């Protein structure tokens, strides 16, 4: 039962343009979301998070938007750079009542930035 | 990723052998989590530990798998009598508290011959 879904396995974007990665979730109790970036043969690196009390969180080139009514979040990267080529995972705590310890991950989107 | 140290990076075992995966959390982190990633899939939660305590092992297979985080030393994920289906990347993460993001190690790639 995939509670966090990333329906696009891959995405290619021209360098300098905006990359938009999407994530949908099924559990309306989820109230905190995280994005991780993963290079081959490395572990996921935390990028940015958002709490359900907000609909937007920004950190440099990275912005995450949350639409609670649609159960949808997106990660925007602008401008996209070659070093952004990686697999991006969205994640949420499985048991929101018990803190962030048990994360459930989407299957990831492989982003390729074309020079 | 340099903060959370996992070893070995690659481990090859024959069916029926034991696999031991080690994880040293980031300095100052007392919460440790283990995840497994099968090819083309996302990470799946296995177990959450604090020093000397297993807090949540709801993602652990009922048999052959065990985890510990002793008072001294790294956290250990132990798989007894390995089978081909145990082949995966095993990631450890740590955090300072459950309200802080988890930081991941680079994983151990386990291959079963």
Of all residues in chain A, the one with the smallest CA distance to B6 is A43
Q: Do A103 and B43 touch (CB under 8 A)?
A: yes
Q: What is the mean pLDDT of chain B?
A: 93
Q: Which residues of B touch A (CB under 8 A)?
A: 1, 4, 6, 31, 33, 35, 40-45, 48, 55-56, 58-59, 91, 93, 95, 97-107
Task: Report chain B residues whose CB lies below 8 A from the CB of A89.
Answer: 42-43
Mean pLDDT of B34-47: 91
Output the pLDDT for position A2. Answer: 77
Residue B2 has pLDDT above 60, yes or no: no
Output the pLDDT for position A90. Answer: 96
DSSP notation for A53-83: T-SEEEETTEEEEEETTTTEEEEEESS--GG
Distance from CA of A49 to the nearest CA of B (A): 8
Distance from CA of B107 to the nearest CA of A (A): 6
Q: Does A1 touch chain B (CB under 8 A)?
A: no
Distance from CA of A90 to the nearest CA of B (A): 9
- Spatial CA neighbour of A109 closest among A41, A2, A21, A34: A21
Map residue B52 onto helix, strand or coil.
coil
Q: Do B107 and A43 touch (CB under 8 A)?
A: yes
Output the pLDDT for position A98. Answer: 63
Each of the 115 residues of chain A gets a pLDDT tens digit; together they read: 679 999 999 999 999 999 999 999 999 889 899 999 999 989 999 999 999 999 999 999 999 999 999 999 999 999 999 999 999 999 998 876 666 678 999 999 999 999 9
Q: Does A44 touch chain B (CB under 8 A)?
A: yes
Output the pLDDT for position B1. Answer: 45
In angstroms, rounded to a whole number, what is the distance separating the alpha carbons of residues B58 and B37? 16
Judge whether B82 and B15 are in contact, CB under 8 Å: yes
pLDDT tens-digit map of B55-95: 999 999 999 999 999 988 999 999 999 999 999 999 999 99
């Amino acid at each position: 039962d995939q509670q966090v879904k990333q329906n696009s396995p891959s995405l290619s974007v021209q360098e300098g343009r905006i990359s938009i990665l999407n994530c949908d979730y099924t559990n309306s109790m989820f109230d905190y979301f995280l994005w991780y970036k993963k290079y081959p043969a490395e572990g996921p690196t935390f990028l940015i998070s958002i709490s359900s009390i907000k609909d937007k969180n920004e950190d440099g080139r990275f912005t995450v938007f949350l639409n609670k009514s649609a159960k949808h979040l997106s990660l925007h990267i602008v401008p996209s750079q070659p070093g952004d080529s990686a697999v991006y995972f969205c994640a949420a705590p499985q048991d929101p009542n018990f803190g962030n310890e048990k994360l459930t991950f989407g299957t990831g989107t492989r982003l390729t930035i074309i020079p | 990723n340099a903060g959370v140290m996992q070893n070995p990076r690659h481990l090859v075992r024959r069916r029926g052998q034991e696999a031991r995966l080690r994880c040293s959390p980031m300095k100052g982190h007392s919460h440790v989590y283990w995840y497994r990633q099968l090819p083309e899939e996302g990470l799946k939660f296995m177990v959450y530990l604090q020093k000397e305590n297993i807090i949540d092992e709801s993602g652990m297979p009922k048999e052959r798998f065990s985890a510990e985080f002793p008072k001294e030393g790294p956290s250990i994920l132990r798989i007894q009598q390995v089978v081909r289906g145990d082949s995966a990347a095993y990631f450890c993460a740590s955090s300072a508290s459950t309200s802080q993001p988890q930081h991941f190690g680079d994983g151990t790639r386990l291959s079963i011959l």
